[in-house]
Amino acid sequence: MSNEHHMLRQASPANIALAANMLQDSQCVAFPTETVYGLGALAHEAAAVRQIFTIKGRPSNNPLIVHVADRAMAGQYGVLNDCAYALADAFWPAALSLIVPVKEGVVAPEVLAGNETIALRVPAHPVAQALIRAVGAGIAAPSANRSGKISPSRAAHVVAEFAHHTQQPAMVLDGGAARIGLESTVVRCVSEGAEILRAGSITAQQLARIVPLVSKSKEDTGHLPSPGMLSSHYAPNASMRLNARSVQPHEALLAFGMPCTGMPAQMLNLSEASDVDEAASHLYDYVRVLDATHDHIAVMPIPEKGIGLAINDRLRRAAVSGA
Ligand code: TXA
Ligand code: MG
């Protein structure tokens, strides 16, 4: 029992300093960000970065986001073009990852997974900021879940993901529930503008106020630029039935707003007030809770506005591989 929680620590200044020492010592540490928890290693430490892939069971062709403290530090890792500068100035620190050409020799090759570009993000979370500043270097960190599974929005989710595995993070810093609860918007910065690779809380409308948006043609989807953008991802064990207008007794219900008709086996409401931001912050926690005791989850329709677009993107991927 104690073995399951020995790695969990409050994100106090002393424990952040301890975590920084572990990172410097080439170990992996899970830490909070405002989107989801990340599983971090120093971006230039190849052995530690390889350990991230091992712990997650992540395919080696899926590149990692490098977390930096500010725009100046981003400039040490990537070549920011006009588009990247404009977006960085408008949004960072934020749930926004920018993909730009990588500078040579600044990160372990494993971080890039064969790409000549790097994904950079300045997180707003004070614990993430403190950790980056304590190590004085970029921290490569994917979401702290096993590959293909639901991202963790709480420290306890991270502990649960790896508790029964031999390979674990050296420490999980507990900074409370993630404020946003969904992964960052991923944007590729090209000379013509920004191409959205993954929807997130920074919306297309917000981005379009700053730079032109370049959209990928439909025929392009044969070779996705991001291996992480697989159709099956964020997978619970339960089956997921989306856009449910009524619910069956054998199903658990993930409600949004006024619950639909029917008597579900259990119900959790993402937002009684029909607020998409509140729904995003509860999404992964509630899916995990329902998935633990039910085989079938019905999900009410979520409006395609604001972060609702990103919620629906994740739900569709979660629904693909359900049992
Ligand atoms: O909010 C987030 O983004 C969280 C927190 C921890 O920062 N991180 C996260 O990382 O979601 P991960 O690894 O789960 O998702 C990163 C996505 C993957 O789909 C990956 O393929 C893509 O970003 N990516 C990373 N580097 C890339 C690159 N150079 N080119 C294209 N896609 C890239
Ligand atoms: Mg992930």
Residue 6 in tokens: 């020995």
Q: Which of 208, 184, 176, 182 is nearest to 195 (CA)?
A: 208
* Residue carrying the six token digits 């899916």: 287
- Which ligand neighbours the alpha carbon of 59 most closely? 1
Please give all residues whose beta carbon lies within 6 A of any atom in ligand 1, as ranges: 33, 35-36, 38, 62-65, 95, 97, 99, 115, 117-119, 121, 141-143, 183-184, 186, 197, 225-229
What is the rounded average pLDDT of the residues 97-124? 98
Q: Which residue's alpha carbon is at the smallest distance from atom 31 of ligand 1? A: 226
**118-161 residue pLDDT tens:** 999 999 999 999 999 999 999 999 999 999 999 999 999 999 99
Whether the pLDDT of residue 162 is over 90: the answer is: yes
Q: What's the pLDDT score for residue 232? A: 62
Residue 83 alpha carbon to ligand 2 centre in Å: 25
Amino acid (one-letter) located at 205: Q
Shortest-distance atom of ligand 1 to CA 200: 1
Q: What is the DSSP letter of 227?
A: T
Packing angle of the helix pair 276-293, 155-162 (nearest 10 deg) = 30
- Whole-number Å distance between alpha carbons of 16 and 18: 5
CA atoms within 13 A of residue 212's CA, in its CB half-sphere: 7
- Percent above pLDDT 70 for the chain: 92
Q: Which of 52, 312, 307 is nearest to 181 (CA)?
A: 307
The CA-based angle 29-15-280, given to 5 degrees, is: 60
- Which ligand neighbours the alpha carbon of 145 most closely? 2
Residue 302 alpha carbon to ligand 2 centre in Å: 22
Shortest-distance atom of ligand 1 to CA 123: 7
- Contacts with 35 (C-beta within 8 Å, 6 or more apart), sequence order: 95, 123, 178, 180, 181, 182, 183, 184, 200, 201
**200-234 residue pLDDT tens:** 999 999 999 999 999 875 444 444 555 556 566 67
Amino acid (one-letter) located at 126: P
- Whole-number Å distance between alpha carbons of 123 and 129: 7
Q: What's the pLDDT score for residue 178? A: 98
Q: Say if residues 118 and 102 touch (Cβ distance below 8 Å).
A: yes
Q: What is the DSSP letter of 69?
A: S
Q: What's the pLDDT score for residue 323? A: 42
Packing angle of the helix pair 308-320, 276-293 (nearest 10 deg) = 20
- Contacts with 3 (C-beta within 8 Å, 6 or more apart), sequence order: none
Q: Say if residues 318 and 287 touch (Cβ distance below 8 Å).
A: yes
Q: What's the pLDDT score for residue 218? A: 46
* Residue carrying the six token digits 């009410």: 300
- Percent above pLDDT 90 for the chain: 89
Q: Percent helix, strand, coil in the chain (nearest 5)?
A: 35, 20, 45
User: Using H for helix, E for strand and C for coil, what is the string for 21-45?
Assistant: HHHHCCCCEEECCCCCCEEEEECCC
Instruction: Give the distance, in angstroms, between the CA of residue 194 and the centroid of all CA atoms in the same chain.
Output: 20
Q: Say if residues 46 and 36 touch (Cβ distance below 8 Å).
A: no
**237-292 residue pLDDT tens:** 999 999 999 999 999 999 999 999 999 999 999 999 999 999 999 999 999 999 99
Ligand 1 pocket: which of 34, 110, 111, 186 to mutate (most atoms <8 Å of CB)?
A: 186
Q: What is the DSSP letter of 78?
A: B
Residue 107 alpha carbon to ligand 2 centre in Å: 20
User: Using H for helix, E for strand and C for coil, what is the string for 114-130?
Assistant: CCCEEEEECCCCHHHHH
Residue 121 alpha carbon to ligand 1 centre in Å: 10
Q: What's the pLDDT score for residue 5? A: 65
